[in-house]
Structure 1
Amino acid sequence: MALSDADVQKQIKHMMAFIEQEASEKAEEIEAKAEEEFNIEKGRLVQTQRLKIMEYYAKKDKQIDQHKKIQMSNLLNQARLKVLKTRDDMISDLLSEARQRLSEIAKDPERYSVLLEGLIMQGFYQLLEPKVTIRCRQQDVSMVQAAVDKDIPVYKEMVKSNIVVRIDEQRFLSSDISGGVELYNDNGKIKVSNTLESRLELIAHQMMPEIRVELFGVNPNRRFLD
């Protein structure tokens, strides 16, 4: 039985409605899937950027912490250097004061003559030469000669050897020297400096650890005392 035009139109409309329904459902399905994929991708990008930001600021925090440590180390080093310089300045002032007070020793003839005897005798023992030349301050010539006269017999007895001593009255020690003597062997190539200044320098060098402990206390970071 042939369909009428109305039946054909009805079936066409029905088919079109079905196709439109299918298309609409398919479009909704595609849209939903696209929305889901968009959200997943957005979440992934957000998480990736979040991790990058966290890593960036973690790196910055580490750099800041390292910078603080370097600054603190530099400040500590500067503080230590200032402390060391202040201590060195104090020791320099102490030695300078000691040098100024050396001149007071020669102003006491009794004390100074005994000191000269010891300095000259020590020079004899250090040189152990048969001929010795002594240089002293011009004002000390008589006291040095007296000390030599006392020392020679003692030295001869101790070393069982003769010694000839000459005081150089052509070249005296500088007037800046506080006292003491310089002793030379016969050809002048060997010298023993027993001026008050040289003895002070020697004693200061030898006693520097004790001086530092006396002034500043024991250094807790020092492992050895010699």
Structure 2
Amino acid sequence: MALTDADVQKQIKHMMAFIEQEANEKVEEIDAKAEEEFNIEKGRLVQTHRVKIMQYYEKKEKQIDQHKKIQMSNLLNQARLKVLKARDDMISDLLNEARQRLAEIAKDPESYSSLLVGLVLQGFYRLLEPKVTVRCRKQDVEMVQAAVTKNIPIYKEAVKSNIEVRIDLERFLPSDICGGVEMYNDNGKIKVSNTLESRLELMAHQMMPEIREKLFGANPNRRFTD
């Protein structure tokens, strides 16, 4: 039985509808797959950039942390230096006050003459020379002569050796020296300084740990005390 034109047209339309439906389904499938791939790629990119951002800010946070530690360390060091300087200034003030008080010692003839006796005898023992020159302040010549006269027999008895002592009457100690003596061997190459200033400096050096402990307390970082 031959198909009429109407039948042909109907079949053609039916085939076109089928093809169109398949095409639409294929488009939907492609769109769905593309959407899925897009979401996967978007998720991957977002995760990748999120990790990079987290790493960036983690690095920045570590840098800020390190910077804070360095700043804190610098501030602590500056504070320590200020404390040390304040302590040194206090000790310097203390020593300056002690130096100012040295001048008062020579104003008491009795105690000063007794002190000179000890300084002269100590100078003899430190030099251990047969010929000694003593230099002093011009105003102390008489007391120093008395100290020398008193100490010569004591020294001779102690070391079993003779000693000849000369007081230098041409060159005296400077007027700004608070007192005491300087002593030399015969050729002047060996010197013992027993001025009040030099004795103070020596005592300050020897007693510095004790002075610091009295002023600022014991150092917790110090392992040995001798």
For the superposition of Structure 1 and Structure 2, which TM-score range results when normalised by the shorter chain?
A: over 0.9
* Aligned twin of 1:224: 224
For residues 209 and 8 of structure 1, the distance between their equivalents in structure 2, rounded to whole angstroms, comes to: 121
* Aligned twin of 2:92: 92
CA shift for structure 1 position 131: 0.2
CA shift for structure 1 position 11: 1.9
What is the number of equivalent residue pairs in this alignment? 226
Q: Secondary structure at the match of 1:70?
A: helix
CA shift for structure 1 position 141: 0.3
For residues 100 and 112 of structure 2, the distance between their equivalents in structure 1, rounded to whole angstroms, comes to: 16
- Superposed counterparts of 1:47-66, under 5 Å: 47-66=47-66
Residues 113-132 of structure 1, C-alpha deviation per residue, up to 9 Å, x if partnerless? 11111111111111110000
* Aligned twin of 2:5: 5
* Aligned twin of 1:75: 75
1:192 corresponds to which letter in structure 2?
A: V
TM-score, with structure 2 as normaliser: 0.97
Matched, 1:23 2:23: yes
For residues 75 and 162 of structure 2, the distance between their equivalents in structure 1, rounded to whole angstroms, comes to: 64
For residues 6 and 92 of structure 1, the distance between their equivalents in structure 2, rounded to whole angstroms, comes to: 125
Residues 134-158 of structure 1, C-alpha deviation per residue, up to 9 Å, x if partnerless? 0000000000000000000000001
* Aligned twin of 2:176: 176
CA shift for structure 1 position 7: 2.4
CA shift for structure 1 position 52: 1.7
2:35 corresponds to which letter in structure 1?
A: E
* Aligned twin of 1:132: 132
Structure 2: segments with no counterpart, 5+ residues: none
For residues 72 and 28 of structure 1, the distance between their equivalents in structure 2, rounded to whole angstroms, comes to: 64
Q: Which runs of 4+ in 1 moved over 6 A?
A: none
CA shift for structure 1 position 10: 2.1
Q: Percent identity?
A: 84
CA shift for structure 1 position 51: 1.6
The worse-fitting range, judged by mean Cα deviation, of 124-133 and 8-17 is 8-17
* Aligned twin of 2:149: 149
CA shift for structure 1 position 32: 0.5
- Superposed counterparts of 1:156-167, under 5 Å: 156-167=156-167
